[in-house]
Amino acid sequence: MHEPRGRMTKDGIRIYEDADFAGMHAAGRMAAQILDEVAQLVTPGTTTAAIDDFIRGRVQELGAVSATIGYRGYRHASCISVNHVVCHGIPSPKLLNDGDILNIDVTVILDGWFGDTSRMYVAGTLGRKAERLIEVTHEALMLGIAAVKPGNTFGDIGAAIQAHVETNRMSVVRDFCGHGLGRVFHAPPNVLHYGRPGTGPVLEEGMFFTIEPMVNLGRPETKVLADDWTAVTRDRSLSAQFEHSVGVTATGCEIFTLSPADRFHPTWG
Ligand code: MF3
Ligand code: CO
Ligand code: CO
C-alpha cells in the first residue's frame, strides 16, 4: 500500500491533489449513470429489491465494487427510501404503489475512489405536495453547492440549505449529514445541512465531500426502526433527499456525480 497523497487540515479534512479529481469524476459518473439507468425500472408494481438487484448487477458489470455491501453489516447495493423513510431504507419485496416517491442512494468504489450520489424517483403519478417537496429539496442541494468555494465555510453551505427549506415551510433533518469522502467512504467533516454563515471549518481547494440534504414536509425528527437501519420521520410526513459528491476547486467546485443523461431530477428527461 502507498501512503495517501496530499495533506490534512487542522480539522482532520484531507486535501487531495489535482490529479485525484479524475478518479473521483470516474467513480461519481459511474454511480450517476447507474441511477440514470434505474429510472425506467421505477414503476408501480415493481419492488425495491428488484431495483437493488439491478444496481448490484450493473456495479459489477461496469467493473466497480459496491461500497455498501458489507459496510457495517449492510447487505445491499443501494439504500431505497420510500415516502416517509428519510434514509437508509433497506430494499424489500414490497410492491411500489402509484404515487410513491423514493430516494435511491448508490455508492460505488472504482479504482479505490468512492462515488456517492442519490436522487428522487416517482412511481406513477406525482402528487402536488410530493412535487413541491422534491423541488425544494433539489433546489436546497443546488444552493448548498453554490456556496462551495475556498474561503467560505461549511456553515455557509448549511445556512443556504436551511434558509431555502424553511422559507418554504419545510424542515431540514438534523440527525444525518453529508461527509468527507475520497479514498474512503465516510471521513471528516460532518457536512451539516443547517447552520450559521461563517461558522465551521473553512473550505479549501482539494476537499472532497458530499452534500445530501434530507427535507421533511412535517417536523425534522426521525427515528430508526428495529432493523437498525431504516430512518423514518417521527410524524410520518413525506421526506426527500438528493446527494452529490463534490470537489473544491480554486474558484468553486466540480460535481463528481452529474447525471450523464441529465436525469438528476425526476421531472427531467
Ligand atoms: N450512501 C449513504 C451516504 O450517503 C450511506 C449508506 S451506508 C449503508 O452516506 F450502509 F446504509 F448503505
Ligand atoms: Co453520502
Ligand atoms: Co449516499
Q: Cβ of 101: how many Cβ atoms within 10 Å?
A: 25
Q: Is the CB of 79 under 6 A from ligand 1?
A: yes
Does the pTM exceed 0.85?
Answer: yes
Average pLDDT of the residues of the chain: 97
Q: Is the CB of 74 under 6 A from ligand 1?
A: yes
* Confidence (pLDDT) at 3: 58
Model pLDDT for residues 18-62, shown as the tens digit of each residue: 999 999 999 999 999 999 999 999 999 999 999 999 999 999 999
* Confidence (pLDDT) at 30: 99
Look at residue 1 and tell me whether its pLDDT is greater than 60. no
Q: In which band, very low, low, confident or very high, does the pLDDT at 102 lie, cut at 50, 70 and 90? A: very high
**Of 71, 85, 193, best ligand 1 pocket probe by most atoms within 8 Å of the beta carbon:** 71
* Confidence (pLDDT) at 251: 97
Look at residue 2 and tell me whether its pLDDT is greater than 70. no
Closest ligand 1 atom to 68 CA: 12
Cell of 234: 417521527
Under 8 Å between Cβ of 209 and 177: no
Q: Is the CB of 241 under 6 A from ligand 1?
A: no
